[in-house]
């Protein structure tokens, strides 16, 4: 990763499109893309080459986006409804703040790649094909991983005494 300008030219469009899909706002996606590459440049010696560069960049971008939402206090589990309800069967539980906090806690305890795939599908509203590409896997892998993550969340909620 010696030639950062080449890296920027090669992955800018991919990362920008990913962030645009994630946030749905062109200006914010451009800002986040710039922040992503700035953060990547600042931490390029931390890249371990155990994943694809585009996956690493998208993960940085996703973290920048969620960081921004947390700062603006816009990350709210009550926003899952309407068109994307099919991707999150626990919608009724999310209405209750206590249940939403429980789901959030469980999600953060999930191992990778479950946590990441679930977040990309639920928060980022990415298709299984897009998620598969990010991980260098198939859309079928993304579907199975998402389904397993969802089952793990439901099982943990039942263990904790929540009725679903």
Task: Encode pLDDT of 6-36 as tens digits.
Answer: 888 888 898 888 888 888 888 888 999 899 8
The H-assigned helical ranges of the chain are 4-23, 26-42, 53-71, 91-95, 97-109, 114-122, 128-135, 139-159
Question: What CATH architecture does domain 4-71 belong to?
Answer: Orthogonal Bundle (1.10)
DSSP letter at 82 equals G
**In the chain, what percentage of residues exceed pLDDT 90?**
2
Same fold, 4-71 and 77-159: no
The pLDDT value recorded for residue 19 is 87
Q: How many whole angstroms from its chain centre is CA 145?
A: 13
Fold entry, domain 77-159: Arc Repressor Mutant, subunit A (1.10.10)
- Whole-prediction pTM: 0.46
Instruction: Give pLDDT tens digits for 98-150.
Output: 666 777 788 889 898 998 888 888 766 778 888 888 888 888 898 889 888 88
Comparing 121 with 82, the larger pLDDT belongs to 121
């Amino acid at each position: 990763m010696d030639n950062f300008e080449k890296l920027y030219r090669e992955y800018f469009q991919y990362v920008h499109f990913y962030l645009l899909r994630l946030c749905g706002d062109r200006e914010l996606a451009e800002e986040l893309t710039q922040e992503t590459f700035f953060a990547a440049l600042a931490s390029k010696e931390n890249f371990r080459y155990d994943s694809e560069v585009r996956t690493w960049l998208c993960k940085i971008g996703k973290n920048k986006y969620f960081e921004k939402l947390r700062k603006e206090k816009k990350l709210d589990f009550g926003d899952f409804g309407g068109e994307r309800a099919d991707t999150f069967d626990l919608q009724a539980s999310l209405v209750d703040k206590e249940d939403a906090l429980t789901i959030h806690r469980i999600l953060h305890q999930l191992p990778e790649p479950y946590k990441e795939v679930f977040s990309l599908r639920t928060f980022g509203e990415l298709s299984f094909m897009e998620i598969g590409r990010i991980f260098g896997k198939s859309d079928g892998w993304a579907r199975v991983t998402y389904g397993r993550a969802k089952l793990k969340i439901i099982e943990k909620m039942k263990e904790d005494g929540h009725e679903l």
